[in-house]
Structure 1
Amino acid sequence: MNKIDLLYGFIFGIVAALLGTYLFITFYTDFTFASGLQILKSQGNLGKVITLGAIPSLAVFGLLLSLNKEMMARGVVLAVIALAILTIFI
C-alpha cells in the first residue's frame, strides 16, 4: 500500500504542476496553451515556466500532510524533484 500511495502522490504532484503551468500560460501570457509551450520553448523560457507551475504542488503537499498522508506527500516531493531534473534538460 505504501508504494501505491507514493505513486498517487507523484501523480498528484505532476498534475498540480501541469495545472499550474496551464494557468500561468493562459492568464499571464497572450498565447494559448499549445502555442505558448512552443513559443516559450523556442525562447528558452519553458523550464522557468514549469518551475513556476510547480508552485501549486506546495498546496497539495501541505494538504496531504494535514490529512496525515505522509507517503503521498513524499510522492509530491518526488514529483517536484523529477520536474527540477526535467527543467535542467529543457
Structure 2
Amino acid sequence: MNKKDIFIGMFIGLVANAIGLFFAANLLGQGEDFTHVIQAAAKEGFLGKLISLGAILNLLAFFIFIKKRQDYRARGVLLITVFVAVFTFVFKLF
C-alpha cells in the first residue's frame, strides 16, 4: 500500500506541476499560445524558471496530503518536486 500511495503522490505531483506550468505560461505569456510561450522561453533561456514556477502547485498538493495525514502521498509529491529541482538545475547547466 505504501508504494501505491507514493506513486499516486508522484502522479499528482506531475499533474500539479504541468497545470502550474500551464498557468505560469499563460500568465507570463500575455495571451500568447502555450506552445509559443514555451518555445520563446527555451530560446530566451528562462524555461527552467518557468518550470520551477509551475512547481508551486506541488506545495499546495503537499500540504493537502499532510493535512489529511496521507504521508506517503505527500512523500511522492516531494520526490517529484526534488526531481523537478534537479532537472531545472541540470537544464540550466547545459
- Normalised by the length of structure 2, the TM-score is 0.90
Question: Secondary structure in 2 aligned to 1:22?
Answer: helix
CA offset digits 1:38-61 (Å, max 9, x no partner): 110111100001111100111100
Secondary structure of the structure 2 residue equivalent to 1:68: coil
The 5-angstrom pairing of residues 1-90 of structure 1 reads 1-30=1-30, 31-90=32-91
- CA RMSD, Structure 1 to Structure 2 (Å): 0.9
| Identical-residue share of aligned pairs (%) | 32
Q: Residues 28-84 of structure 1, C-alpha deviation per residue, up to 9 Å, x if partnerless? A: 213211111111011110000111110011110000111110000000000001101
Instruction: Give 5+ residue unaligned stretches, structure 2.
Output: none
- TM-score, structure 1 normalization: 0.94
Give the ranges of 4+ consecutive aligned residues of structure 1 lying more than 6 Å apart after TM superposition: none
